[in-house]
Amino acid sequence: MKKIFVINALGEKEPFSLNKVYRSALRAGASKRLAQLITEKIEKEVYDGISTQKIYEKIKNFLFETEFKTGVRYSLKEAIRKLGPAGFYFEKYIGEIFKKLGFKVLLNQLVNGKYVNNYEIDFLAEKDRQLVIAECKFHHLINSRVDLKVALIVYARFLDIKKGGFFKKFRIRPMIITNTKFTSQVLKYAQGYHIDLLGWHYPENRGLEYLIESEKMYPVTILPSANSLILSFLAKGEIMLASDLLEAKREKLKNLGLKEKEIDLLKTEALELLKDNNI
């Protein structure tokens, strides 16, 4: 196969990799045989200058045609991106994940420090007298990175809050949560000053995508029929997880503004995604 270059999300050229196609299908849960079939199909259809987004769409469509559940799981990163653009839904979604993990969660709180009052805190999560003070950084561009400036602000704010004694009864720790990745400077700084990080593929083998997959806490945006209007209705009812949608009473969903046909389709999709998980 002659060398082919693709255009990534930043508009830059990069060499096309069949191995990336194969591995991405495996990560979504495809069998080795199915991943190989997808790789062979893409190899026939790829051309010089094709966008990585176009390749993604081809893989997703093929998966949807062959294994619906795998196709939906392949869409996880895109589903997280659909929680934007403002990031408010992302904060609510992360809050629901932490609740499922046994935390008490408060969003968008004002907290006083020793020298500065009314810090705007995206996310507070408490469990066993341990309190996470987190900054949620949502990026619409999936190749964006959380940079050092964010880590510096988070840690400086944390120190002032800690000295202020607002949370005397708790062991508090700072955290940064993102739907993308961190720069190498942030990783080094966070390690040195004990800032917890949760992002895409970080920590290694325990990142956001691993947490979602292992605990089956898929966002409702991963369901093919969940458009922006439906998402606004579901968010109003604090329904951010596909599992919560599946368990929700039809009457509640109708009161939020969903139509019967929309409810049927959403529940069918959620059941197909989660049916092996005893939900």
**Could you tell me where in the chain the CATH 3.40.1350.10 domains are found?**
88-215
Question: At residue 61, does pLDDT exceed 60?
Answer: yes
- Tell me which H or E stretch contains 192: helix 184-193
For residues 202 and 192, the answer to whether their CB atoms sit within 8 Å is no
Q: State the average pLDDT over residues 19-40.
A: 91
- Classified by CATH at the fold level, domain 88-215 comes out as Trna Endonuclease; Chain: A, domain 1 (3.40.1350)
For residue 278, what pLDDT is reported? 41
Q: Is 125 helix (H, G, I), strand (E, B) or coil?
A: strand
> 68-126 pLDDT, tens per residue?
888 888 889 889 988 876 557 899 999 999 999 999 999 999 999 999 999 999 999 99
User: For the whole model, what pTM was predicted?
Assistant: 0.85
Q: State the average pLDDT over residues 237-266.
A: 95
For residue 87, what pLDDT is reported? 56
For residue 3, what pLDDT is reported? 85
Higher pLDDT, 141 or 220: 220
Q: State the average pLDDT over residues 194-221.
A: 92
Q: To the nearest whole number, what is the mean pLDDT of the chain?
A: 91
For residue 1, what pLDDT is reported? 57
Q: Which residues pair with 197 in a beta bridge?
A: 176
Q: In what order do the strands lie in the sheet with 119-127?
A: 104-111, 119-127, 130-137, 171-178, 196-198
For residue 277, what pLDDT is reported? 43
Q: Per residue in 3-39, is it b (16+ CB within 10 Å) or e — as a string?
A: eeebbeeeeeeeebeeebbbebbbebbbeeebbeebb
For residue 11, what pLDDT is reported? 86
Q: State the average pLDDT over residues 54-79.
A: 89
For residue 162, what pLDDT is reported? 94
Q: State the average pLDDT over residues 170-192.
A: 96
Question: At residue 31, does pLDDT exceed 50?
Answer: yes
Tell me which CATH code domain 219-277 carries: 1.10.150
DSSP-derived secondary structure letter, 172: E
Q: State the average pLDDT over residues 119-138.
A: 95
Q: State the average pLDDT over residues 197-211.
A: 92
**Could you tell me where in the chain the CATH 1.10.150 domains are found?**
219-277
For residue 68, what pLDDT is reported? 84
